[in-house]
Amino acid sequence: MYKKSAIRLFAGVAVAVFAAATFLLLFMLHEQKQINETLSDAQHTLQMQNQELQQEINDLLTKKGGIEEHGQLSIKGTQVVDQNGNPLMLRGVSSHGIAWYPEYTNYSALKTLKDYGANVFRIAMYVEQNDGYLEEPELNKKLLFSAIENSLAADLYTIVDWHVLRDENPNRNIEEAMDVLEEVAQRYGDNPGIIYEICNEPNGDTTYDDIVRYAEQVIPIIRKHAPNSLVLVGTPNFCTSLSEAIENPIEYQNIMYTYHYYAGISDCKFAIEEIARGLEGGLPVFVSEWGLDSHDVAEHHWNETRDFLDYLENKKIGWINWSLSNKNEGYSMIEPASRKLNSWNEEDITDSGRFVLKYLSLGKDQKSK
C-alpha cells in the first residue's frame, strides 16, 4: 500500500521535475535566442558604424578635389591647370580680417567649407587698419600661420592675401609686404598649396605702373623660395580695371590678375565685358573677391550676381566670396546670432551665404566627375 503510493509520489515528482526541467530548458532556449538576436543586431549596427567610419577615413586619406588630388597649379593660356595639365576651377571663400574674426579660421570651419565644395580659402590680413599688420605685426603673423596650417590641413588651396585697402598704394608699405611674403615663402617653399595675393585692392591715385613697380620687387622675393607658386596681382581702382594689364602685362610666369565684383556697386555688364576683354587679350583673370550685401541690394542685383557667377563658371574663372564671419553685415556667410564655428545648419547661414553655398556645391559635382 505504502509502496504503491510511494511509487506514485515518486512518479508524480519525476513528472513535475521533468516538466519543470523542460520548461526551464525551453525558457533558456528562448532567452538564448533573444540574446542572439540582440547580439546580431548590435553586431550589425557596429558593422554599419565601422563602414561609415572607414568611408570617412578614406575620404580624409584620398582628399578629393583639393591640393592632394590636384597638386601644383600653373597657368596655361588664361586658365588655371593642375599638375596633370587639366583645367581646375577654384571656388572658395575669404576670411574676414584675420585679426577681427580669427575664430572662423579653425580647422573644422575650413573642413566644413571643403565639404560644401570649396577647394580654396583666402586669408585676408589687413595692413593699415585697427589691429592690422602695421599695428600688430606679431599677432597678425601668428594668426596668419595658424590659418595657413588649418587651411592646408583641410586640403584647401590657400591664398595669402596682403590686404591693401586704406593704404591705397601697395608701395607705401612695400618693406613690410616683402618681409611677410618672404617669410611665408621661406616656410612653405615648394608646397603646392600656397597662392600669393600680393596686394588686395590698389586704389586712390595708384596707377598700374605703381603696381608693376611693386610687383617686380615682391615677386622675385617670393619666387626665390617658391619658384612655382601662383601669384595674384591686384589691378587699379579696387581691382576693376584690366585694360592696362592687357596692354602691358608683367613679365613673369604663373601670374593672374584680380578682378573684384560687388553686387549693387559693380556694373555687371561692364564687369563681364572687362573680364572677357582680359581673356581675349590673353590675361589670366581671377576673381579674388565678390560680395552680395543681402541687407542692402535690390532683387535685380541678385540676378546680376547670378549672371556674373554663371559667366565665371562658364569660363572656368576662379572666384572667392567675401566673407566667412558672422559680422552683422550683408556680406557675411554666418548669421550674427550664430555661435557655431563649424558644421553650420540651415539656420546659421545667411541669405547671401545660402546663395554662396549653391555655387560652392558645384565643386562637389566636379569632384565626382
Establish whether 347 is a catalytic residue: no
Q: How far is the CB of 303 from ligand IDC (least distance, A)?
A: 20
Residue from 67, 154, 160, 165 in contact with ligand IDC (CB under 6 A): 165
The single residue listed with the C-alpha cell 533573444 is 34
Q: How many helices (H) and strands (E) does the chain have?
A: 12, 10
Q: How far is the CB of 145 from ligand IDC (least distance, A)?
A: 21
Q: Which is nearer to ligand IDC, 151 or 326 (CB)?
A: 326
Cross-strand pairs, 319: 91, 287
- Residue 95 contacts ligand IDC per CB under 6 A: no
The single residue listed with the C-alpha cell 600656397 is 194
Site string for ligand IDC, 75-94 (x = CB under 6 A): --------------------
- Residue 200 contacts ligand IDC per CB under 6 A: yes
- Contact between 210 and 202 (Cβ < 8 Å): yes
List the interface residues with ligand IDC, window 309-348 (CB under 6 A): 322, 327, 329, 331
Q: Which is nearer to ligand IDC, 88 or 165 (CB)?
A: 165
Q: Which is nearer to ligand IDC, 90 or 127 (CB)?
A: 127
CA 291 vs CA 20, 79, 302: distances in Å = 80, 23, 11
Would you tell me how many other CB atoms lie within 10 Å of the CB of residue 194? 23
Helix (H, G, I), strand (E, B) or coil at 212: helix
- Residue 263 contacts ligand IDC per CB under 6 A: no
- Residue 262 contacts ligand IDC per CB under 6 A: yes
Count of residues binding ligand IDC (CB under 6 A)?
A: 12
Catalytic one among 103, 149, 274, 289?
289
Would you tell me how many other CB atoms lie within 10 Å of the CB of residue 261? 26
Residue from 101, 121, 238, 319 in contact with ligand IDC (CB under 6 A): 238
- Residue 197 contacts ligand IDC per CB under 6 A: no
Q: All 3 cell numbers of residue 321?
A: 566670396
The single residue listed with the C-alpha cell 615663402 is 185
Q: All 3 cell numbers of residue 30?
A: 528562448
- Contact between 318 and 80 (Cβ < 8 Å): yes
- Contact between 278 and 257 (Cβ < 8 Å): yes
Catalytic one among 135, 176, 183, 201?
201
For the chain, the first-to-last Cα distance in angstroms comes to 95
Q: All 3 cell numbers of residue 238?
A: 579696387
Establish whether 289 is a catalytic residue: yes
- Residue 289 contacts ligand IDC per CB under 6 A: yes
- Which of 189, 191, 137, 186 shows the shortest CA–CA distance to 162? 137
Site string for ligand IDC, 102-141 (x = CB under 6 A): ----------------------------------------
Q: How far is the CB of 353 from ligand IDC (least distance, A)?
A: 14
- Interface residues toward ligand IDC, by CB under 6 A: 165, 200-201, 238, 260, 262, 289, 291, 322, 327, 329, 331
**Catalytic residue set:** 201, 289
